[in-house]
Each structure stands twice: as C-alpha cells, then as structure tokens.
Structure 1
C-alpha cells in the first residue's frame, strides 16, 4: 500500500475507537481526560531515576551538548527534561497549558531554557525553529492525520526524529471490561506496526526497537478499578464491582506493556 492509503487506514482505525454516543452521553466524566498528577508523577520519577531505554538513548546520542530539542506532546517533560545537562534550549509543544506550566516550573528549577507552545502539532509547527532532535512520546495514538504530523516533525529536525508508543492502543487493556459491562467490542488496530509502515512509506529510513515498559500501569487493583470506571463510563461507585470482575477475568496483576521506539535521521 502507498502512503496515502496507509494514512487513510490509520485515520479510520483510530476513528473506530470512538465511544458509542449513548454511552458517552451517560458518562459521569470525560472518559478521554487524563489527570495531570499521573503525568507529573511520571516526570518526577524520570528525573529521579533516568531511563536508559532506547527512546532516551536515541535522543541522547543525536543531541549535541547545548543542542536544541523539540518535545511534541511534552506533558510535564518526562521525555525531555531528564536530558537537562545536554539541552541548550527546549521547545515544548502540548495542547494543555496546565501541562506546559508543570514543565516550565520544573525546567526553571533545573536551569533548562524553555519555550512552551500551547497547541496541537502540526498546527503550531510554524512557531518552532529548526532543532537538532525532536521527540514525540506516547502521542501518535491521539493523531488521526499522522502523515502531516510526521512530515512536520521531519521538516523541523536536523539530526534525528524519535517516536515512542505502546505496541497496542493504550486503551486496549480495557477490552474485556467493555464487553462485560457494555457488550461493546473494542477495535484491535491501529498498532505500532501501522505507524512504522506509514513512516516508511513516507520515505523515512525508519529503525525500530521494542522493549518491555519500564513502569507498571497500575500500582494496585484499586487503582486499576478507578481508572477503568473513568475510561468505560461507569459511576465511580462501581469500582469494587469492577475490581472483582477484573480479578475474575484474570486481568490482575496486569502484564507490562510493550513500548516501541521508532527513529530516523
């Protein structure tokens, strides 16, 4: 398949993850929202315990001392601030001003010169100069129009583009609970290989590395149940029921995800 067809399939497959309207209308809270605290805790752990996995390694290898780094979908900076000793200037892009505030506060304490840009990539690509290295970690499953996203990253990057994503859609773990509580079958695609195929079809000399995720998804069954209620549009009061169901279905303890690093020069 050519790049146009692969891009269309990526979009169609992402769109198939839409929650049925009648279930979404009855949701107590936005099931797609994330608490900022989950991201800040991950960033603080990454700063305290630097990760030597393939994503950070490939960014570090290509980033010169005092170099410029672009972090797209930055959150509070888990994929960029751990490289504080090499960064001359960090350009952080995120659609959440609150996430950028958290990143900026940490960057100030670490002495990292930072420009924070609120908006979606590639809509705000024109506000970013050419950089040495760009990274986009755990972002692409939120990007329906993936080809322009990747092209914009490549056009702004002199040395290396690095992506990180789970092997499967990050909500895949909920499929048994969706079926149990709502009778809804969730999609299987897209997966990381679909992103790799599209990037290669666009002409990028992609390289791929995979590993077990360095972090557990949840620290307890109670945390899993609370997250599941949020994601599958159930009243939080049903958390104990969800916990029992997850345990009966063999969902606890959860195996770790597989994370995929994609990069090109």
Structure 2
C-alpha cells in the first residue's frame, strides 16, 4: 500500500511539473508554426548517422545484453528508428509504435533496406498498447518528457517486456537549454523540473528493480549556430525572420557552442 501511495504522489508531481512547461497562451497565440512540432527529415538524418556509426553507450549495451538469437524488440516512440534499427542484426522482429505516420514511413524505408521484419503501429502509448504484441525487450528513447501520465506509460512498457525494459532520456527537459533565450525574448522563466531522477523515482516506486547509468550525449545538439537559431524561432514562438537576431543573442549570452547534454539510461528486468 505504501508503494502504491508513493507512486501515485510521484506520478502527480511528474504531471504537474510537466504541465508547467506549457507555453503561455498569449505567446502561443502568436506562434508562426507549431512550437512542439518535429521534422521527420531531421530525425531520419540522425537515424542514418546512428546506422553508419552505431553507438556503444549504455542504452545499446543493455539492449544487446537482452537480445539473444530470435529475440523480438518493441520500440515505443520509435520515431525513425534511431534506437532500434542500429541493432537490426540482434533481433528477429521489430514492433514500432509512434504517433507520427511520417516518422513510421521513414523507419519503414530504412527497415526495408536492411531486411528487418517490421510491424508498425500508429498511435499514442499506452492508448494503443492492446494492439501491440508482447516482446522480449522494450526500448523507449527520448519520449518520456512528452508523457504526462507516466505511471500508466511505464506500467504498459513493463507489461509488454518478457525480459527487459530500457529507457533513455536527457537528464533535463530537452528544452531546458533555451531558458536564457526565453527570458531574453519573452521575459519568461522556464521550469527546472521534471528531471531524469523523477522518472527513476517513479519507476522504483512502481516496484521495478531499476538500474541507472548516465553519460554525455554522443552528438552535438546542433551542427551550426544557424541551426540553433532556427530551432529557437520555432520552439520560442518567434518569427523565423528573427533567426539572425536569435543567433547573435545566443553568442552574446555565451550559449554557443552548446555543451552536450547528459543522457540517462534506465533499465530493469
């Protein structure tokens, strides 16, 4: 009973902290484009790089440990397959879940070229969980900060894994780095929480024997100052025409080059 109460409280705190990241309505109303949108082409480029230069970090390591011959892999929030496709010679079937049909199309193109048996399920986890087979191993990479109802999300991951669940997420919210620019352009302070430890605490409170490893991200967030400025214009609801101004401001604030993120891997059997 105590574990259940603790988990409920932690889940509520996670939801409240994530809700605090909502963009103020008056700023959102002026957004030229969706500030929360993602571009499949950018994700596909990252997947292609991951395929060309497979990562040997803790997420891949702990997936490989559990993927013996004939194993099946479920990738939740798969995107274009950056977390799963580089391990294509380690599993016999990939199940990929994502809310974006465009992302799944990019994943399918790459899976076909690699000869990877693939089943895609379009929809939000855990809403579509009943449509998804149980797999030997489940991976969920860089999705958690999009999940308000984290307890149900984690329970569904666990219920679909025969052997192991592996989760990768940034140590801090992936938009945290923009806090000085939000303050500069909008006079808005961005939240600090949730952080990866909040996810770890909730998973442990749910009764999972969690293990944790952290490392520096293997890739820079942006290839150029121009890329950074374009991203800020989208995420901070600024006119794209202000990109040069944003870049200059980032330089003035000492934000370029950006330090690499810290990534956290959480796993349990």
TM-score over 0.5 for the alignment? Answer: yes
Partner in structure 1 of residue 27 of structure 2: 23
Following superposition, the deviation at residue 164 of structure 1 comes to 0.2
Following superposition, the deviation at residue 87 of structure 1 comes to 1.4
The C-alpha deviation readout for 1:53-109, integer Å capped at 9, x for no partner, is 000110111011121000000001000011111111100000001101111111111
Following superposition, the deviation at residue 229 of structure 1 comes to 0.7
Which of 138, 141, 145 lines up with 2:142 in the alignment? Answer: 138
Q: Does 1:126 align with 2:130?
A: yes
Q: Does 1:5 align with 2:42?
A: no
- Paired with 2:109 and 2:224, the residues of 1 have a C-alpha distance of 30
Superposition TM-score, scaled by structure 2 size:
0.98
Runs of 5+ consecutive residues of structure 1 not aligned to the other structure: none
Q: Does 1:251 align with 2:255?
A: yes
- Paired with 1:68 and 1:35, the residues of 2 have a C-alpha distance of 28
Following superposition, the deviation at residue 5 of structure 1 comes to 0.3
Superposition TM-score, scaled by structure 1 size:
0.99
- Paired with 2:105 and 2:225, the residues of 1 have a C-alpha distance of 31
Following superposition, the deviation at residue 166 of structure 1 comes to 0.2
RMSD (CA atoms) = 0.7
- Paired with 1:35 and 1:59, the residues of 2 have a C-alpha distance of 27
Which of 196, 207, 215 lines up with 2:211 in the alignment? Answer: 207
Q: Counterpart of 1:209 in 2: which secondary structure?
A: strand
Q: Counterpart of 1:129 in 2: which secondary structure?
A: coil
Which of 96, 100, 106 lines up with 2:104 in the alignment? Answer: 100
Q: Counterpart of 2:199 in 1: which secondary structure?
A: helix
Provide runs of 4+ in structure 1 moved above 4 Å: none
The C-alpha deviation readout for 1:101-159, integer Å capped at 9, x for no partner, is 11111111101100000000001111111110000000000000000000001011010
- Aligned residue-pair number: 265
Following superposition, the deviation at residue 48 of structure 1 comes to 0.5
- Paired with 2:134 and 2:123, the residues of 1 have a C-alpha distance of 18
Q: Counterpart of 1:247 in 2: which secondary structure?
A: helix
Runs of 5+ consecutive residues of structure 2 not aligned to the other structure: none
Partner in structure 1 of residue 92 of structure 2: 88
Following superposition, the deviation at residue 35 of structure 1 comes to 1.1
Following superposition, the deviation at residue 244 of structure 1 comes to 0.8
Which of 52, 66, 69 lines up with 1:65 in the alignment? Answer: 69
Partner in structure 2 of residue 183 of structure 1: 187
Following superposition, the deviation at residue 227 of structure 1 comes to 0.6
Bigger drift between 162-171 and 60-69 goes to 60-69
The C-alpha deviation readout for 1:21-63, integer Å capped at 9, x for no partner, is 0100100000000111110000000000010000011011101
- Paired with 2:131 and 2:67, the residues of 1 have a C-alpha distance of 21
